[in-house]
Every structure is written in C-alpha cells, then in structure tokens.
Chains A and B, each alone.
Chain A
Amino acid sequence: MSPAEVAAGPEVLARALLELEVQRFLYAEAQLLDERRFDEWLALMAFDIVYRAPVRVTREGTEDVAGPDELAHFDDDYGQLELRVQSLQVRSAWAEIPPSRTRRLITNVRVQPLDERDVRAHSNFLLFRARSETVEHRFVGQRSDVLRRLGPDDWRIVERTIVFDTVAFETDNISVLF
C-alpha cells in the first residue's frame, strides 16, 4: 500500500476530520473569551463540567502536579464557573475594569476518541493579557479536555484540566479564564 493509499483510507480521513472539527471548536471557544462573550462561552460547558487547574509544586523526583485533594487555582463545577462568569460582568470587577485585552494562542491540538460521543483533546495555550498602558502578563500551559459531540460542530466541554507551567505567577492575580 502506498503512502497516498494509507492517507486516503476512510479511518484516517475520519480521524483527520474529527481533529479539524475539534480544533475549529477550540479556536472558536478561545475567540469567545478573547472577545469577552462570557455567557456564550459558559453555554459551551456541560452542566456536569469539572473545571480544574491544580497548582504545580517543584518536588524532587516526584509528580509535580498537585493531587485532587490539594490546592488548585480552579476547582469548579458549573455553578462556580457561572459565578466567575457573572463576576466578570458586574460593575465592581476591579481586576478587569477597564477590561484586559487578551489573546489566546491554542496550539498542538491532539485528539483521542473515547467513545461514540466523547473525545479527549490535549492543547497547549499561551494567554497574553495586557492592561492599562504597560501591564503585560503571560499564562502558559496545557489543557486536557473531555469534549462531548452533540451534533455537527456542536460540542460541550465536560472536563477541563488546566496544567500551568508556572509555580509562582508573576501576574498580580488570575482574573482570566482558560
């Protein structure tokens, strides 16, 4: 079988289309956050979402991602995410008034089908935040998502684990979503 025949095989093609669809979803999702369309972003979350960002700890020779019963930057269910989304839109959201200008770069998307509906998607991110005239912050890391396909180009995020590369953030706070 030639390389061309392999590439054209139906399974390979289906997988490529799936990856393309997931990428398209992740890019569109990032755009919603960059454009501060928070309610539309929240609508992409499944009601049973688990949204976590465990802290990192430099531990010699062992796992450096904090465990589920340890500290996290986010350890949210849908209700808590809803609070965060609301909190970004009230009159007194001082950390985001005036609003930060954010740019999310989503790369290295890898997709692994889990079953008929769900896929595991890994992606790398760089979130750049600019505030006022000269305040600039960068958040870098990897996300591991479980995404559920409800229909063509219609996905929900069921699980998101954000693993930052940073131990001590040089960002004054973390008032942005990932």
Chain B
Amino acid sequence: MTATTRPTAHQEDSQSMATTADPASNGRRGAPAPRRALPLVEPDAGLLERAVYVDEDVYNDELERVFARAWLYLGHDSQIPEPGDYMTTFMGEDPVILVRGSDGQVRAFLNACRHRGMRVCRAEEGNTSFFRCPYHAWTYATDGSLRGVPKFREAYEGTMAKNDWGLVQVAKIESRYGLLFGTWDEHAPSLGDYLGGFAVYLDLIFGRAKGGLEVIGGAHKWTIETNWKHPAENFACDMYHVESAHQRPAELGLMEPLELGGYEISAGLGYVGHQHNRALSSDGVDDGMPISAYWAMPNPYTYVLHEQRAAMALELGEQLARMIPLGHATIFPNFSLLDTESFRLIRVVHPLAPGRAMVYQWCIVESDLDPEVRDAVRKQYILAFGPAGLLEQDDGENWRECQNGMSGTIGRRVSTNMGLGLGQDTTATELLGTEAPGAGGGIWSEANQRQFYRHWRAFMESDSWATLRPRLSDVSF
C-alpha cells in the first residue's frame, strides 16, 4: 500500500530518458520513489511525528508528491487583465511565470530557459510580447513557444526542432472567481473535483461579490524560518491560538472575546473555520459596528457585508449566509485566506527548505467597492495582517519558534498533539444547523488539521493521481 515498496518508476523513466531523450516530454518524468518511509502520521489519534516538519527527506518527497501534483494557487485574473500581462510566482520551489498570451489565454510556465535554465523573466510583474533569456538570447512568445534561437541556421538546423523546446508548461490551469490555480500533473482531477463540497464555502467567500473581485496592487512578501505546513495548518484550523497568540490586539481593545460557538469544517480539499456571526437581524449596521464585533474598529465594510448577506440569504438560505464573513481557510496544500469583517486576504506559503517558507500575500476586494470603503479595507488589512500587522507579527515569531523547538534529534521524534476536540467530530449540517457539505468540529477543534494530514498522508503515500484519487475519496467529506 505504501509507496516505499513501489518498484521504480523513477528508474524506469530515467532509463527511458537516457535512451530516447524525448524533448517533447518537456523534460518531465514521473515522481521518483520516496526517499524515506513516512513518519508516524495518525490523524485519527491526533498524533503527528514532528519529523514531518523538519526532516529533509520528507521535505523533498513533499516537493515531488504534493507540490508537483496538487492544484496550486498562481494568481488572480485582475493582476493580468491585458494580453501580455504577466506576474511571477512559485509552484513548490519552482519559479513560474503566469502570463496572458496575445490570444488572451492564461498559461503558466516554468521560469527557466530550455537552454541553460536561466530565469527568462526576472521582474515580478509587467507586460511583454516575449521573454528573452539574457544569457544566449533564446526567445519565447507569451504562449511559451520558442521563437528565436541565435545561430539557428548555422548550428542547429536539422538537429533541433524549435517546437520541442518551448518553455515547460503547467499542465492545467483553472479559475474560480478569477483565482487561478495550476497543476504540473496532467492526470490531476478537475479543480471542481479537487475542491468538492468546499465550492459552497468558496462561493460564500468570493461568489458573494457579484460585481467581481480584484487584487489591490502590490504584494506582501516575506520569509519565515519555519516549515510551510505551520502557516498552512494554522489557516486551515486554529481558532484555538487566537486568544493567546493574538492576545495583543485584545489587550489593546481591538479584538473582542471570541464567541463560544463556531465551526471548523473540512469539505473536499478545503478547510474553513470561524466563530458564529450574529444573526442578520442584529448586524448593527446602524451603529457602524463590525458585523461580528470581533475586530472592534470603525468599519465601513460592514454595510457591504450586510447587503451581501441579505443577497446570499436569498440564494443559499439565511443560515449559510449568516456565515459571512467565513473566517480562516486553506485549500490543500498551501493556499490560505482570511475572510474577516474588515478585509479579505489571500496568501500562498511557498516552501523554500524544511525550515524556511516564503509568504506571498495579497488583499482582495470587490471591484465595485466605493473608493472610501476600498481604502478603509486596504488600511485595515495593512494594520492587521501585513508582515508589520498587529496580528501577523506574532504568528511569524511563534512559527519560527515551533520549528526551533522540534528540529533536534529528540525533538523530531516527539509527536505533536493534534487532539483538540478529538471524538467530538460531527457533520457540517449539524454544526451549521442547515444542510451543508463537509464535516468537522466546533470552534475548539483541530478537526481540520487532522483532515489536512489525512490528505497529506494520502498524497505522500501515492505514486500517482490514479492511486491518490481513491485514497482522497476514502478520507474526504
């Protein structure tokens, strides 16, 4: 069952590469056999050996088995609206260009020249009609095709077909609400299948913006000396940390105490959680108080939320609409978001090393927001959740120190306790009081983290999407 006993797709592929050297494969081949047996991962018991966060071999296997296979977040439509617009990001450790071709189609490519591997695009964003490698001037069109090769006639004619040497292309791209996801694996299921029941929650978070969404210009980018899974699992499920880790804003009177009621729900490959918001009848729009009185600052976005809740109540029913804003969420593996009463943020946590991660984070708003409200949302986001934000500052410190505490020889053998709310799991329908997809626990539950690691284990123990799909179906809600 485990991939450790699997024969040698890697070696077979290596041999075939050696004999046929098929450039049309775009240089890609199947995932190699895992480097090590998986550490103890027993989500059902709420146990997780800490080697999963610090072991170099586990990390390298993740790059192959999770990041070269899963749907990964790339960017938002609004960041590349015109033909030739591009932005750069990462998929796992691989640098990637996301570009809208001159034909209007969005594609993504490994940001590496096929000749010597140099990044062909070294800006973070811009508009171009081609990508030219400075090293030897191989030149690619925005559809990735190789167009220009200096001295082609003199030195390559008859031995190289340019068609075989385009930029390595991300196999599939799909979008939801303008959020563009890509996967390297052509055998990956559709994004819809991947998201499963989480689509309902995504609709409440993003689909409620009927006039569309756009990302505010600029990005917050910073590294944290921690494993990428600490931030990912925190956004998947961690209302538990709010009272201690974010005591600082509470001490300042910026945050009100959490309500006791809430939910941590997993559906498909997504995870979402929050406290229960107030009912529509007591939204407090008259006094300008935030809709759930959780981040206690003057907040003009409250009125927008109020309207959106009313509209979504007609579509999905009052119980589901009342979830707006939905709090924290992660889509496996490393796309996270916060949907709060004063702003929405989206982030990707790129892995850089077992103990090092790079956060790319953006503020996303309704396209038709009143300029004053938009500016208030932008400022609230910056004050709370940029790297200098009053909440985010403490998370970075804490995740670094988690990594420090578990990196030693003994430390990595110890199991993490992921047992909050163990044995109390129930259905989303039960948690929300209306028919809803998924399952999980109440506000004081690590149900979503346990589910994250069921998914993680399925990815790590599967050789391909063919074996992974049934594994995921078995454990998903």
Residue ranges of A at the interface with B (Cβ–Cβ < 8 Å) = 53-55, 57-62, 66-67, 69-76, 80, 83-84, 86-87, 90-95, 135, 167-175
User: Contact residues of B with A, CB < 8 Å?
Assistant: 122-126, 128, 216-225, 244-245, 247-252, 254, 358, 362-363, 374-375, 378-379, 382-383, 386-388, 390, 392-398, 400
Residues of A near B249 (CB, < 8 A) are 87
Known contacts A86-B252, A95-B396; is A175 also within 8 Å of B224 by CB?
Answer: no
Expressed in whole angstroms, the Cα–Cα distance for A170 and B387 within the complex equals: 11
Contact A71 B222 (CB under 8 A): no
A58-B124, A71-B363 known; A173-B248 Cβ under 8 A: no
Given contacts A90-B247, A92-B247, A173-B388, 11 further A-B contacts (CB under 8 A): A57-B125, A58-B122, A67-B217, A69-B378, A70-B218, A71-B362, A71-B382, A73-B382, A74-B382, A87-B390, A173-B396
Cβ of B122: which chain A residues have Cβ within 8 Å of it? Answer: 58
Given A58-B123, A60-B123, A75-B379, check contact A95 B222 (CB 8 Å).
no
Contacts of B223 in A (CB 8 A): 168-172
- Across the interface, do A75 and B378 meet the contact criterion of CB distance under 8 Å? yes
Q: Chain B's interface: helix, strand, loop or mixed, by majority?
A: mixed
**Contact indicator A90/B252 (Cβ below 8 Å):** yes
A174 to chain B: closest residue by CB: B388
Complex CA distance for A87 and B388, rounded to whole angstroms:
12
| A94:B245 contact, CB within 8 angstroms | yes
- Write the chain A residue with the least CB distance to B362: A71
A75 close to B382 (CB less than 8 A): yes
Q: Which residue of B lies closest to A90 (CB)?
A: B251
Closest chain B residue to A71 by CB distance? B218
A54 vs B392: C-alpha distance when bound (angstroms): 18
Is B394 a contact partner of A94 (Cβ separation < 8 A)?
A: yes
Would B218 and A55 count as touching, CB distance under 8 A? yes
Take A69-B375, A71-B363, A94-B245 as given contacts and tell me if A84 and B390 are in contact as well, using a CB distance cutoff of 8 Å: yes
Q: Smallest distance from the beta carbon of B384 to chain A beta carbons, Å?
A: 10
Interfacial chain B residues near A91, Cβ < 8 Å = 247, 251
A58 CA / B122 CA spacing, docked (Å) = 8
Q: Tell me which residues across on chain B come within 8 A of A55, comparing CB atoms.
A: 218-220
Is B222 within 8 A of A170, CB to CB? yes
> Are A90 and B222 interface neighbours, CB within 8 A?
no
> How distant is B226 from chain A, measured CB to nearest CB, in Å?
8
- B396 touching A71, Cβ below 8 Å: no
CB atoms of A95 and B217 under 8 A apart: no
A94 neighbours in B (Cβ, 8 Å): 245, 248, 393-394, 397-398
Residues of the A chain whose Cβ atoms lie less than 8 Å from the Cβ of B382: 71-75
Can you list the 5 inter-chain pairs with the closest CB atoms, starting with the nearest? A71-B218, A92-B247, A70-B217, A168-B221, A173-B396
A90 surroundings in chain B (CB, below 8 A): 247-248, 251-252
Write the nearest CB–CB distance from A177 to chain B, whole angstroms: 9
A90 to chain B, nearest CB (A): 4
**A57-B219, A173-B222, A174-B393 known; A73-B383 Cβ under 8 A:** no
Expressed in whole angstroms, the Cα–Cα distance for A66 and B396 within the complex equals 24
Shortest Cβ gap from B296 to chain A (Å): 12
List of A residues within 8 angstroms of B363 by Cβ: 71
Interface centre among A59, A92, A172, A175 (most CB of B within 10 A): A172
Which B residues touch A75, using CB under 8 A? 378-379, 382-383
- Quick check: B251 and A92 within 8 Å, CB to CB? yes
How many Å lie between the Cα of A58 and that of B121 in the bound state? Answer: 11
Q: Are B225 and A172 in contact (CB under 8 A)?
A: yes
Q: Can you list 26 A-B pairs, Cβ within 8 angstroms, ordered by A?
A: A57-B217, A60-B126, A66-B218, A69-B375, A69-B378, A70-B216, A71-B217, A71-B378, A73-B387, A75-B383, A76-B383, A83-B254, A86-B252, A90-B247, A93-B394, A94-B245, A94-B393, A94-B397, A168-B358, A171-B223, A172-B400, A173-B388, A173-B394, A173-B395, A174-B393, A175-B388
User: Which residues on B sit within 8 Å (CB–CB) of A87?
Assistant: 248-249, 252, 390
Does A69 contact B217, Cβ atoms closer than 8 Å? yes
In whole angstroms, what is the CA distance A70 to B394 when docked? 24
State whether B400 touches A169 (Cβ < 8 A): no
Tell me the complex Cα distance, A75–B254, Å.
18
Contact of A57 with B124 at beta-carbon distance under 8 Å, contacts A71-B363, A93-B248 already known: yes
